[in-house]
Amino acid sequence: MEEKAITAEQMRHYDSFTINTIGVPSLVLMERAALAVRDEILNAYPLNLGHVVVVAGSGNNGGDGLDVARLLHIAGVKVTILNVGNPDHASEEHRVQDHICQYYQIPQTTDLAILDQATLVVDALFGIGIDRVVKGDYAAAIDAINASDAVVIAVDMPSGINTDTGEVMGTAVKADVTVTFAFNKVGLTTDAGKEYAGRVAIADDMGTYAVDD
Ligand SMILES: NC(=O)C1=CN([C@@H]2O[C@H](COP(=O)(O)OP(=O)(O)OC[C@H]3O[C@@H](n4cnc5c(N)ncnc54)[C@H](O)[C@@H]3O)[C@@H](O)[C@H]2O)[C@@H](O)CC1
Ligand SMILES: [K+]
């Protein structure tokens, strides 16, 4: 049977149905997403994690990244958060995750030079919310991730890849592994998407349900 792959709009519909109709809180979905990324990292790189740098945008993909940062920190891993974008635009869930990370005193920076110290990068800049060409600080962060020697784990989508077409939106993260949530995404099944995603791991125990109404 061919694996189901969906668009950004379908994923938003499923998330919205799960949150608003079934009643699973958004932060519960985020926690399950982050747990899946944490498990992928701890299972694939159990002995030599070194210094993990989580590159976080200000939306919910960044919120996932902050959640992963906290879970790795609790597991005893050295973690630094690299914030990119305007904190005034942070999503509600991102603000909650940021508050928790501050409680745990996880180091945070906006200086791309931290990537020189990274042995593993968690790419949490953009997920299915990407809707335009990447420029400025975001493009600089993506290029810096690609210039580093670190292993790169992308959260949901490699940042810069169009969820529906796999097109590179100006520039995009080249990942070793992409952990995508609930279902595969159409963009990850195209030649360009596959090249940037690396190995695609589908975290399907998300509590997100495909209800076609
Ligand atoms: N409750 C939910 O909706 C869940 C969302 N999840 C995560 O949230 C992601 C989607 O989050 P968001 O909808 O906040 O979107 P993203 O976090 O993907 O993007 C954030 C925002 O960036 C802006 N943007 C788009 N393209 C840009 C560009 N080229 N340059 C600058 N800004 C740009 C958009 O306004 C977008 O909303 C998913 O991919 C997944 O990782 C998961 O936590 C599971 C639950
Ligand atoms: K990402």
**Ligand 1 site, residue 128, Cβ cutoff 6 A:** yes
Q: Read off the pLDDT band of 2 (50, 70, 90).
A: low
Give this complex's ipTM. Answer: 0.98
- Say if 209 falls within a structural domain: no
In a domain, 194, yes or no: yes
Q: Annotated binding residue at 62?
A: yes
Q: Which of 12, 18, 37, 130 to mutate to test the pocket of ligand 1 (most atoms within 8 A of CB)?
A: 130
**Cα(138)–Cα(160) distance, integer angstroms:** 9
Domain-embedded: residue 70: yes
Domain boundaries, position 88: 5-203
136 is in an annotated binding site: no
**Which residues have C-beta within 8 Å of that of residue 79, sequence separation ≥ 6?**
51, 52, 53, 54, 69, 72, 73, 106, 107
pLDDT higher than threshold 80 for residue 213: no
Residue 213, domain member (yes or no): no
CATH of the domain at 37: 3.40.50.10260
* 195: in domain: yes
Question: Would you say residue 24 lies in a domain?
Answer: yes
Task: Tell the residue number behind the tokens 């993909």, with chain if given.
Answer: 61
Q: 91-126, pLDDT tens digit by residue?
A: 999 999 999 999 999 999 999 999 999 999 999 999
Domain-located, residue 210: no
Q: Encode pLDDT of 23-60 as tens digits.
A: 999 999 999 999 999 999 999 987 779 999 999 999 99
Using 50, 70 and 90 to split pLDDT, how confident is the model at 206? confident
Q: Is residue 77 part of a domain?
A: yes
Domain total of the chain: 1
Distance 48 CA to ligand 2 centre (A): 23
